[in-house]
């Protein structure tokens, strides 16, 4: 072995030209062999490198990089970080230093900082960074790739706030990260879907479609992939085909569907909503509520939760006996009083609401909804209630509600229940007796109207 003095002299004369004498390959740092002589040689290399750094001064980047790797191999993570930071202060765009520091961040359980460095390196030299990531152990590689994926999704969502399509400058960094992900692990469909989303957002529809066709097998398309295919069909003007693909996501992943809808222009959303509504209505008429539900939900999301679409889905959900969800949609309809304020229409909604509450065992709520319907449009509500839940059942409901309110001395509510019941069945003897009893027991008539 060369004497220490001779090696130091060489390093002092030629600076970084002799780094190969003591540089452990990056693979050693990842595999971390446990042989004692390897660690000893690494410590010796650090000593020589330190002298080289001292001699090279501002030109010591390569020596600093190599020493940082040596420190990493020895497990001296913070010292390795110091050397990588020194390189990056002098050369902010040093890709090797960014990748090396990312590894140290991972070792220090700082995955977010590691992703920051990898993302910065990918902007500069994807061809250098991708092999580095692929050479990592599976656990470390998963942390980096998932971090890049999450970052891309978040940044893309933020950029869409300005409205699609995005410019090339906006998506350049996103494309670098997404393309790197597909090269690191070409078998992950989610990486390819992300890349297709970015291409779609920038208006590269044909390129996005071609990428999906090349990378995702038609026979094994996921709901997410089918939805992307549908969105691209909509861009070509085929709204019915788009609705068929996108409705599959409407019940499975509303968050992803909401993201895709942001990639559409207002006119495209309108045509999609119309296509979904028409198909949902046809399927409901054909007594196929289960097949109609996805289209109903697509119409609700694409149409901005419009009252007519909420009503349609509530009807579908009621047929599927999902009464809680149906009631939630109908409550949304009733809150939109300014948009759809015709009294007959609202009376129908309250009758529907009352029937749903009966199916959920809420008799008090049902009586209140029916009473509101009778107040808004008496003739229409009487007809609807006599049909369903029926004259006798409705009168019995109001009788029970009135008796309960009377026992609790809530005379005004008891009176409303009795009068509402008599509107449905004017000859009901029990309701007549209830009304007379309310008159007798009330000490004042100020509550009667």
Asked if residues 386 and 421 have their Cβ atoms less than 8 Å apart, the reply is no
Q: Are residues 253 and 161 in the same domain?
A: no
Q: Are residues 327 and 359 in the same domain?
A: no
pLDDT for 4 equals: 32
pLDDT digit of tens for each residue in the chain (449 aa)? 333 333 333 333 333 333 332 333 333 334 444 455 677 766 766 766 766 665 555 556 777 788 888 887 788 888 889 888 988 988 999 999 999 999 999 989 999 999 999 999 999 999 999 999 999 999 999 999 999 999 999 999 999 987 777 877 878 899 999 999 999 998 888 999 999 999 999 999 999 998 888 777 766 678 899 999 999 999 999 999 999 999 999 999 999 999 999 999 999 999 999 999 999 999 999 999 999 999 999 999 999 999 999 999 999 999 999 999 999 999 999 987 655 568 999 999 999 999 999 999 999 999 999 999 999 999 999 999 999 999 999 999 999 999 999 999 999 999 999 999 999 999 999 999 999 999 988 765 544 44
Domain boundary among 65, 91, 117: 91
Q: Which residue has the tokens 């009304």?
A: 435
Tokens of 321: 């006996």
Q: Are residues 204 and 133 in the same domain?
A: yes
250 is a domain residue: yes
| DSSP state at residue 162 | G
Q: Which residue has the tokens 């390959």?
A: 25
| Domain CATH number, residue 430 | 1.25.40
157 is a domain residue: yes
| Domain CATH number, residue 321 | 1.25.40.10
| DSSP state at residue 377 | -
C-alpha distances (whole Å) from 260 to each of 75, 424, 437 are 45, 49, 61
Domain boundary among 297, 326, 341: 341
Least Cα distance to 418 among 405, 409, 30, 345 occurs for 405
99 is a domain residue: no
pLDDT for 394 equals: 97
Q: Are residues 336 and 356 in the same domain?
A: no
Q: Are residues 332 and 374 in the same domain?
A: no
Q: Are residues 69 and 126 in the same domain?
A: no
307 is a domain residue: yes
pLDDT for 336 equals: 79
Q: Are residues 355 and 332 in the same domain?
A: no
> Could you give the number of structural domains in the chain?
4
Q: Which residues contact 422 (CB under 8 A, 6 or more apart)?
A: 428, 431, 432, 435
Q: Are residues 212 and 116 in the same domain?
A: yes
CA–CA separation, 184 and 417 (whole Å) = 69
pLDDT for 169 equals: 80
Q: Are residues 336 and 351 in the same domain?
A: no
pLDDT for 66 equals: 82
Tokens of 126: 């994807």
pLDDT for 166 equals: 80
Structural domain range at position 264: 239-341
Q: Are residues 361 and 438 in the same domain?
A: yes
| Gap between the terminal Cα atoms of the chain | 110
Half-sphere exposure of 83 (CA within 13 A, CB side): 26
Q: Are residues 183 and 137 in the same domain?
A: yes
**DSSP class per residue in 164-206:** SSPPHHHHHHHHHHHHHHHHH-TT-HHHHHHHHHHHHHTT-HH
pLDDT for 165 equals: 76
CA 336 to the chain's CA centroid:
26
Asked if residues 149 and 194 have their Cβ atoms less than 8 Å apart, the reply is yes
227 is a domain residue: no
Q: Are residues 85 and 10 in the same domain?
A: yes
CA–CA separation, 75 and 289 (whole Å) = 62
Asked if residues 176 and 126 have their Cβ atoms less than 8 Å apart, the reply is yes
Asked if residues 204 and 154 have their Cβ atoms less than 8 Å apart, the reply is no
232 is a domain residue: no
Exposed / middle / buried, residue 237 (Cβ in 10 Å: 0-12, 13-18, 19+): exposed
pLDDT for 101 equals: 93
CA–CA separation, 285 and 319 (whole Å) = 12
181 is a domain residue: yes
100 is a domain residue: no
Domain boundary among 91, 116, 135: 91
């Amino acid at each position: 072995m060369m004497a220490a003095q001779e090696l130091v002299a060489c390093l002092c004369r030629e600076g970084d030209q002799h780094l190969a004498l003591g540089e452990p390959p990056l693979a050693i740092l990842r595999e971390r062999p446990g042989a004692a002589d390897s660690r000893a040689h690494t410590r010796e290399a650090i000593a020589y490198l330190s002298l080289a750094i001292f001699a090279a001064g501002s030109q010591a980047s390569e020596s600093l990089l190599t020493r940082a790797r040596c420190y990493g191999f020895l497990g001296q993570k913070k010292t390795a970080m110091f050397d990588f930071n020194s390189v990056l202060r002098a050369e902010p765009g040093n890709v090797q230093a960014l990748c090396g520091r990312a590894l140290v961040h991972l070792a220090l359980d700082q995955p977010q900082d590691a992703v920051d460095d990898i993302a910065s390196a990918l902007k500069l030299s994807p061809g250098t960074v991708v092999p580095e990531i692929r050479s990592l152990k599976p656990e470390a590689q998963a942390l980096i790739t998932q971090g890049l994926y999450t970052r891309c999704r978040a940044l893309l969502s933020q950029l869409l706030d300005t409205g699609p399509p995005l410019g090339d400058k906006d998506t350049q960094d996103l494309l670098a990260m997404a393309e790197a992900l597909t090269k690191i692990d070409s078998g992950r469909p989610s990486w390819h879907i992300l890349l297709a989303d970015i291409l779609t957002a920038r208006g590269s529809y044909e390129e996005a479609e071609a990428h999906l066709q090349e990378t995702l097998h038609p026979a094994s398309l996921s709901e997410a992939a089918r939805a992307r295919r549908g969105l691209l069909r909509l861009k070509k003007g085929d709204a019915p085909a788009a609705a068929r693909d996108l409705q599959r996501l409407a019940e499975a992943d509303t968050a992803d569907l909401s993201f895709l809808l942001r990639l559409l222009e207002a006119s495209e959303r309108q045509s999609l909503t119309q296509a979904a509504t028409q198909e949902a209505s046809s399927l409901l008429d054909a007594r196929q509520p289960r097949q109609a539900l996805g289209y109903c939900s697509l119409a609700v999301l694409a149409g901005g939760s419009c009252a007519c679409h909420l009503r349609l889905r509530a009807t579908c959900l009621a047929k599927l006996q999902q009464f809680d969800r149906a009631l939630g949609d109908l409550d949304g309809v009733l809150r939109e009083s300014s948009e759809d304020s015709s009294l007959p229409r609202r009376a129908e909604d309250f009758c529907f609401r009352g029937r749903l509450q009966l199916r959920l065992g809420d008799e008090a709520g049902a009586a209140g909804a029916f009473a509101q319907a009778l107040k808004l449009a008496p003739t229409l509500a009487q007809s609807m209630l006599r049909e369903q839940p029926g004259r006798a059942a409705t009168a019995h409901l109001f009788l029970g509600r009135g008796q309960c309110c009377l026992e609790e001395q809530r005379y005004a509510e008891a009176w409303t229940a009795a009068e509402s019941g008599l509107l449905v069945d004017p000859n009901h003897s029990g309701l007549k007796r209830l009304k007379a009893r309310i008159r007798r027991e009330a000490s004042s008539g100020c509550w009667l109207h």
